[in-house]
Chains A and B, each alone.
Chain A
Amino acid sequence: MTKPKKGWWVPWAFLALPLALYLFWVIMPIFQSLAFSFTKRDSIFYPAGATWVGLKNFARLFQDSQFIVALVNNFYWLILFVLVPVPLGLFIAMLFNNSYPGERIYKTLFYLPMTLSFAVIGTIWAWIYSPDFGALNGFLHVIGLDSLARPWLGDRRYMTFALIFVGVWRQVPYVMILYLAGLKGVPGELVEAAMIDGASWGQRFRHVVIPMLAPATVVAMTISIIDSLRAFDIIYVMTNTKARAAEVLASYMYSSAFAYQDFGYGSAIAVIQFIITLGFIMVYVNNQLKNELER
């Protein structure tokens, strides 16, 4: 990198268009939403009258049982998005990271759910969960576990977990891809040296492979957490955001603002969602830039 010879403005000339687009569609909206969260407004349009209400929206949030439901559900999403896809993705990556003929076909097939939209995934899983003709209850019937059959999306006790399961189904292949990429960075000599020293499979895994996979683990965990906090499409497609017991922050923000026309309140929900996510974004960005900036 050098300083441009002809003038300081040269990089800015290249940045003008991208920065302008980014400022108007991404950066400014963040601050606008923040400002809206301190107001009460019943119309989304300009120039709509809005009244400044200070922290009232936020005070209201914590007395709103529906918000608490969304917050708790989002917490389940987050926990399960770390606890299931990360270890399972690692296990599957280790399994597929073998040079037996045909391993590539397994990898390709396993990735497939990643390429599908949540609209498609939600549609498919909606009939798998269907109480009458659904594959899940049908399967339970075939293996003689009729007693476990449930209206999965119709019962408030199960719906959130049924939805999280669908998210996890798509997230595991993603985490596996990240770990497979990470495993490429584990030098064979290191594992070999540990083997010559008489390290067992478990020891090699714990003391050689796991530390080498630390960057992949950071990416897998932060991305999974951020994805869990962004969950919306699955809920929209599978419940049409009308199942209040399955609501998460993203869907509650949508229904508050766009169904109930309470735009200040909706913005406050978005701000809470944003604040929770921000810490994880910083971990992710820090990790990425540590790798990239010094090159």
Chain B
Amino acid sequence: MATTTATATATRSPVKKTIFATLFYILSTALVVFWLMPIVIAVFTSVKSMDEIMSNQKMWAVPKVWIWENFSIAWNKVGMSRYVLNTFIITLPSVVGTLLVSSLSAYALAFYKFRFNRTILILFVSGMLIPFQMLLIPVFRLSDTLGVRNSYLGVILFHVAFQLGFCTFFLRNFMKQIPFSLVEAPRIDGASDFMIYRRIILPLSISSMAALGVLEFTWIWNDLLWSLILLQSDSLKPITLGLANMQGEFISNYNMTAAGSIIAAAAPLGIFLIFQRYFIEGLTVGAEKG
């Protein structure tokens, strides 16, 4: 990428170069400002008073007074704190669970030759894309039979199982790049298959699993449908559902719903800004090969 641009710019005259640079900055800035306007509006609205919102139709106007108290009201009185806690209780075990379990299947698919290896891989890869509606009723019934419906565990079990598709695919691709001699040598020395997985492959895969974990965290954190189906008690619901309920209850309190949405977005946003590179690595599987 860098070489392309470097050669391209080298052949241009200095005047042309300046024009191109100026164009780039003007166009890019305009685009980003336009695209992020909804987010800017959300931030501004969250700190405005209702009077200011009602008196000025320009939602994008900078607040006259910044009322940070809106956040503490949303957090305490509207009950956002409970929803955030619930989301953590669902998300963290789901991410850890799916990473651990998928490392087992990825290891089997990456290092062993056996019948159905390819079939199982196809099963995992295609499963991750099926419409959720195809699973809703049976998963509801299964959770009910197992007695985990309307509990954190029911949602966690579903997330762990469903995310195995993408995680197995991602980790298997990573493990395929590990030199096979690292598996073969200890095997000759008499190490068991589980030892090789536990002591060699797992430690080598940690960075890749962390990258995957970042993406999975965001996906599971942002899930709405499965909690909607599997959780009935309000005290168990995650922030996405809390926000949707808030929409109904506080429909006219724009500042409260805005503060609520920023609270709901904070964790995935923070994770993304810190681990951006991992995030993109995970999202672009399959797009970069020429």
Contacts and interface: CB of A to CB of B under 8 A. Distances in A.
Interface string B162-173: 101100110001
A116 B222 contact: yes
B58 A120 contact: no
B137 A267 contact: yes
B270 to A, nearest CB: 9
Contacts of A97: 1, 4-5
A177 interface: yes
B261 A120 contact: yes
Nearest to B221: A117
Nearest to A227: B129
Given A24-B161, A109-B36, A254-B136, A288 B180 contact: no
B73 interface: no
Nearest to A7: B193
B105 interface: yes
Contacts, number: 375
A58 interface: no
A29 interface: yes
A270 B131 contact: yes
Contact of A285 (B1, B54, B125): B125
**Interface band, chain A:** 35 or more
Contacts of B109: 11, 15
A162 interface: no
B197 A14 contact: yes
Contacts of A17: 101, 104
A270 to B, nearest CB: 4
A188 B31 contact: no
A32 B240 contact: no
Interface residues of B, number: 125
Contacts of A28: 138
Interface string B1-35: 11111111001000000000100110111011001
B271 to A, nearest CB: 8
Interface of A, secondary structure class, is helix
A192 B37 CA distance: 38
Most buried by A among B32, B35, B229, B290: B290
A8 interface: yes
Quick one: which of A30, A108, A127 has the most chain B CB within 10 A? Answer: A127
Nearest to A233: B224
Interface in A169-211: 169, 172-174, 177-189, 191-192, 195
A1 B111 contact: yes
A32 B104 contact: no
Given A116-B268, A116-B269, A138-B57, A178 B112 contact: no
B89 interface: no
Contacts of B218: 115
A133 B221 CA distance: 30
A95 B24 contact: yes
Interface of A: 1-6, 8, 10-15, 17-19, 21-22, 24-30, 32-33, 36, 44-46, 92, 95-100, 102-103, 106, 108-128, 133-135, 137-139, 141-142, 169, 172-174, 177-189, 191-192, 195, 212, 215-216, 219-220, 226, 229-230, 232-233, 236-237, 240, 249-250, 253-254, 257-258, 263, 266-267, 269-271, 273-274, 277, 281-282, 284-285, 287-289, 291-293, 295
Given A187-B3, A281-B129, 9 more contacts: A1-B110, A4-B114, A111-B272, A120-B243, A229-B131, A230-B132, A232-B133, A289-B125, A292-B286
